Each structure stands twice: as C-alpha cells, then as structure tokens.
Amino acid sequence: MTNTPFKIGIVGCAGRMGRMLVQEVLATPGAVLSGGTEPAGPLVGTDIGLLVGAKTIGVPVGSDAAQLFAACDAVIDFTVPAATLYHASLAAKTGKVLVIGTTGLGADVLAAIETAAKSAPLVYAPNFSIGVNVLFALTEKLSSTLGPDYDIDILEMHHRHKVDAPSGTALGLGEAAARGRKVKLADVARRTRDGQVGARAQGEIGFATLRGGDVVGDHTVIFAADGERVELTHKASSRGVFAKGAVRAALWARGRKAGLYSMRDVLGL
C-alpha cells in the first residue's frame, strides 16, 4: 500500500454531515482534504477549514463537482438523491472512488449506482456507523435462527428535520431480516398500520417511524413470539460515527477494482 496521502473530497461540505466529514478527514492519518463543494451561493470561496472552526487550510469551497472529482482520489456524498445521481455519473466517468451515504434513493438512482460501479469502486450503505452495520449482521442472523414464529417490527426515530421515512437504516434492517428468511422485503413489508387493519399476517416485517427533537438516530429490531421478545437496539448520539465510518470506507476502497461494495465488505462481516 502506498504511503501517499489519499485525497478525499466532500460534496455538500457545508451541511451538517458535510462538516462532520470535513472534521473527520482532517483528523484521519493518511487522508487529506483536497476539496469540497456547495451549490452556488455565499459559501462558495470560503476556506473549508473555517466551516468547522479550524484554521484555514488553503482549500476553498467550490461549486463544480466535476472539478472536485478530477482533483480527488475519492469523493464522499451525503447529499440528496438528485445530486447523488449526478455524482454517480462522474464517478463512472473518472473511475474515482465514491462513498454514498445519501438516503431516500429511488429505483432510478440505485440503478445508476449499479451502472457506475461497473466503471469505478463505489461503497454504498444506508448507514456508515460501525455499530449499525454489526446490527445489520445480527438482524440477519437472528431472523434466520428464530424463524417465522417470531414477528418482526423495526422502530426508528430521528430528528424533526429528516425528510424521508422509514429511514434508510430501517429499510436496511428490513432487508437484513428478509435475507435471513430468504424472502424479498417488498413481498413482506408493512410500512403503515392505521385503523381497522385486522390481524397481523405471518411473515410480515413491519416498520414504525417517529420524528421529533434532535434525535440523531435510534433503531430497534423487535422479534416477538408467544412468551418472549428479543430486541436489538442501536442509538447514535453524534453524526460523527457516520463520518468516521464513511472515511474508513473511502480509505478501504483505495486501489479496489470497480464494483459495488457495502460496509459489510469494509468491515469483513
């Protein structure tokens, strides 16, 4: 492995997650922050170091994602689906590493990510927390072990500003539970319950969503059977855990061949 510093860029570098990612890159040995972008506006041209209260680092906020990809070895994207769609195309064109933590992705963006991964190494995960990715693995294992006598529900809570529901992490947990039972989540998911819904269907994987306050992210997977209940819970108190995992993923992807990777690959789970 080369000792040359790995150049990482952050799209949406002035957002809440963007600033966390900036701080994490600046603090990570072997990584160097070589750029960041924001839509055209008053922050463009500002030294990125000042966004996080650090000293100036001589790297201004830009507005051209194509220039950022050209200048970096890897780009980390926690933005919005429309932007991620564009960034995936830039990764495919340049062959650069792209780490994607954007949530609420539709089928069109997911298809674009799969296409881009034929030309570049992409790491996509609904959640980059190390603990949450262990939770994914445990959920799949328990789902397989406990069997259909255990009803599965996934409860998640986030801050009042989150725009998508259920969260990407909750859906990822649903996918893990479905894999454990060797079924497709789309065939067994129950996203809402309201009114006279009748008895629960066997094999259903339910979701419940809470929004309020400044909650960073709470997720619980409930396995309920007659006579007992097993619960797996993860609570994040800082977005820093997502930034730490994303930067770790970017460094892991260095030198990898083109392909679509997950945090399961990064952590060797």
CATH topology classification for 130-236: Dihydrodipicolinate Reductase; domain 2 (3.30.360)
- How many Å apart are CA 166 and CA 170, to the nearest integer? 6
Residue 162 a catalytic site member: yes
Going residue by residue through the chain (269 aa), what tens digit of pLDDT does each one get? 567 899 999 999 999 999 999 999 999 999 999 999 999 889 999 999 999 987 899 999 999 999 999 999 999 999 999 999 999 999 999 999 999 999 889 999 999 999 999 999 999 998 899 999 999 999 999 999 998 999 999 999 999 999 889 998 999 999 999 999 999 999 999 998 899 999 999 999 999 999 999 999 999 999 999 999 999 999 999 989 999 999 999 999 999 999 999 999 999 98
Domain boundaries, given as residue ranges, for the chain: 6-124+239-267, 130-236
CA distances from 78 to 17, 43, 54, 100, 106 (A): 7, 18, 21, 6, 15
- How many Å apart are CA 223 and CA 139, to the nearest integer? 9
CATH topology classification for 6-124+239-267: Rossmann fold (3.40.50)
Do the domains spanning 6-124+239-267 and 130-236 agree at the CATH topology level?
no
> What long-range pairs does 160-168 form, CB within 8 A, spacing at least 24?
160/211, 160/212, 160/213, 160/214, 162/211, 163/104, 164/103, 164/104, 165/209, 165/211, 166/191, 166/207, 166/209, 167/103, 167/126, 167/209, 167/217, 167/219, 168/103, 168/104, 168/105, 168/126, 168/127
End-to-end CA distance of the chain: 22
Q: Which of 7, 159, 161, 162 is catalytic?
A: 162
Q: Which of 87, 96, 158, 219 is catalytic?
A: 158
Specify the pTM.
0.83
Residue from 241, 234, 246 nearest 134 by CA: 234
Cβ atoms within 10 Å of 100's Cβ, excluding its own: 27
Question: What single letter denotes the amino acid at residue 8?
Answer: I
